[in-house]
Structure 1
């Protein structure tokens, strides 16, 4: 409704529209085993064969000596981190002492993905195994350096370099 302000000036009273507030994403963390009689939490999604659409894909692409190459595809985040850890530990338990995690097909990795990688490494190292990384993208390599994880994992430009380093007599084993 127009109103008269001052001598000959007419304006409309306008209030700025309120912006709707964004809701924060809901995050649920499992902290303990379910109590007796309560329903079990949903299992982490199983690893898929392809990384299309952000889904995590893990597959053994080759085994040479005591080393297996595990191609990782898709995004590593809170949703897929448990599947990464479980699958790497499962591959190690099936026989190969050393794993080469090929990250060439990983476009995104956040803190949850790094945490899962460290958890898998710790489990595998406890039984005498080792994980090395290959094909890590520059942004992910920067993240590894910022967090200091480049000292925990051997990082190689490609799978061939990682396998050659594992075969080298100077590699501790």
Structure 2
């Protein structure tokens, strides 16, 4: 299944709402979308994972790469609405210790305001 990505800009933050599988077959779509935003000067992302049914190591790798780039430019990546399977994957890989994971977009906006002044 291909990942579907809806994009919205909230202030200087890019909200990406994903649906489908985030795996080695679909991760390039997310990478292209994020690279385009980085190129446009956007460095903070809220990634809504509530529609993601499955994620593998390629999906995790893209999220980590995005966080590294965002952080190096004073931005952040906040994950929203991950299902139990994705939360378990983040926990098993200990990535839950580097990503801020929240339940709502409003919580993500507040988290960004705290860390970057954006939101």
State the shift of 1:109 in Å. 0.4
Aligned to 2:108: 162
Greater fraction strand: 2
Q: Which residue of 1 aligns with 2:40?
A: 94
Question: Whose helix fraction is larger, Structure 1's or Structure 2's?
Answer: 2
Larger radius of gyration: 1
- Preserved contact between residue 81 and residue 104 of structure 2 (Cα < 8 Å): yes
1:172 to 97, 112, 115: 115
For residues 110-165 of structure 1, give each alpha carbon's deviation from its aligned partner in whole angstroms, at most 9, with x where no partner exists. Answer: 11111111122222322332111001111111110111111111100121211122
Name the TM-score, length of structure 2 as normaliser.
Answer: 0.85
Tell me the equivalent position of 2:17: 71
TM-score normalized by structure 1? 0.61
Structure 2: runs of 5 or more not aligned: none
Deviates more, 1:132-141 or 1:121-130: 121-130
Tell me: higher relative CO, structure 1 or 2? Use CA pairs within 8 A at least 6 residues apart.
2
* Distance (whole Å) between structure 2 residues aligned to residue 165 and residue 124 of structure 1: 15
Question: Is structure 2 residue 57 aligned with structure 1 residue 57?
Answer: no
**What 5-or-longer segments of structure 1 have no aligned partner?**
1-53
> Which one of the candidate residues 50, 72, 80 is aligned to 1:126?
72
- Cα–Cα, structure 1 residues 130 and 93, in superposed 2: closer, same or farther, change >3 Å? farther
Structure-2 separation of matches of 1:137 and 1:60: 20
Whether the 8 Å contact between 1:121 and 1:131 is mirrored in structure 2 is yes
2:93 aligns with: 147
Pairwise CA RMSD of aligned residues? 1.6
